[in-house]
């Protein structure tokens, strides 16, 4: 088995270019996260647009098969799933489609129930996680409850939640519980860590649009 340092080097090599300090920190965290033997490992990656979240996901998709780990790509909406599939070149599905199934009832009716997670040694990567809320879904539990319940019912499975706290929160909510490390630890039997990328590197910054958006975010952050 690879050591944490060896896996970190492998991830950096797959990254494709020199990582920023923040990106390097995330890659080291992920190396530890992928090798963790603790209960229900969960990593929360937050970051502004253009800070490298997409590059980090592509790095994982390229690297995981070489270390014998599978991956499952999900997003809250069909549009987000298509974007995720487009930039990774891999299949991605909505969370609903992945974790729920239609179940026949004795009276002939049908209802949605949480599916069985048959994956072994897999990383579940969930993009746009800011939209995952605690509204009651099928069977009286929330989507967030069922997502974590589904992932960790599998053997040696891990969860990576990715998002931007400035993006859309869940319906009827002011905050994004799926990106709140302390909240998740208080509600679920998981081992979790988090990091927020803030250094914008995308070339589109030169156009001024991303620059202005980042500047506005920083001003807003100072006033919160």
**7-24 residue pLDDT tens:** 999 999 999 889 999 999
b/e per residue 178-209 (b: at least 16 CB within 10 A): bbbbebbeeeeebebbbbebeebeeeebeeee
* Neighbouring-strand partners of residue 77: none
- pLDDT of residue 221 exceeding 50: no
pLDDT digits (tens, 9 = 90+) for 107-166: 767 778 899 999 999 999 999 999 998 776 666 688 999 999 999 999 999 999 999 977
Best CA proximity match to 193, nearest among 30, 61, 7, 55: 30
Query: pTM above the 0.75 mark?
Result: yes
Residue 1 DSSP class: -
Best CA proximity match to 177, nearest among 125, 140, 137, 129: 129
At residue 174 the predicted structure's pLDDT band, cuts being 50, 70 and 90, is low
**Distance separating alpha carbons of residues 136 and 142, to the nearest angstrom:** 4
- pLDDT of residue 177 exceeding 80: yes
**Distance separating alpha carbons of residues 169 and 29, to the nearest angstrom:** 25
Q: What angle do helix axes 21-35 and 53-63 make, rounded to 10 degrees?
A: 40
Task: Supply the pLDDT for residue 212.
Answer: 46
DSSP, collapsed to helix, strand or coil, labels residue 39 as coil
Task: Supply the pLDDT for residue 189.
Answer: 96
**Distance separating alpha carbons of residues 166 and 153, to the nearest angstrom:** 31
Beta-carbon count within 10 A of 108 CB: 6
Best CA proximity match to 88, nearest among 66, 111, 61: 61
């Amino acid at each position: 088995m690879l050591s944490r340092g060896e896996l970190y080097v492998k991830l950096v090599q797959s990254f494709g270019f020199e990582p920023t300090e923040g990106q390097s920190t995330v890659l080291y965290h992920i190396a530890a996260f992928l090798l963790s033997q603790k209960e229900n490992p969960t990593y929360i990656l937050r970051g502004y647009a253009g800070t490298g979240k997409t590059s980090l996901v592509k790095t994982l998709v390229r690297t995981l098969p070489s270390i014998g780990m599978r991956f499952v790509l999900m997003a809250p909406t069909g549009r987000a799933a298509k974007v995720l599939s487009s930039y990774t070149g891999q299949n991605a599905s909505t969370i609903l489609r992945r974790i729920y199934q239609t179940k026949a009832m004795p009276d002939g009716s049908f209802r949605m129930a949480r599916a069985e997670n048959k994956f072994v040694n897999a990383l579940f990567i969930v993009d746009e996680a800011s939209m995952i809320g605690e509204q009651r879904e099928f069977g009286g539990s929330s989507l967030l409850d069922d997502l974590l319940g589904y992932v960790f019912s599998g053997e040696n499975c891990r969860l990576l939640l990715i998002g931007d706290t400035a993006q859309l929160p869940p319906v009827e909510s002011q905050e994004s519980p799926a990106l709140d490390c302390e909240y998740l630890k208080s509600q679920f039997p998981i081992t979790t860590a988090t990091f927020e990328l803030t250094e914008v590197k995308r070339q589109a910054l030169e156009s001024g649009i991303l620059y202005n958006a980042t500047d506005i975010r920083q001003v807003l952050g100072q006033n919160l």
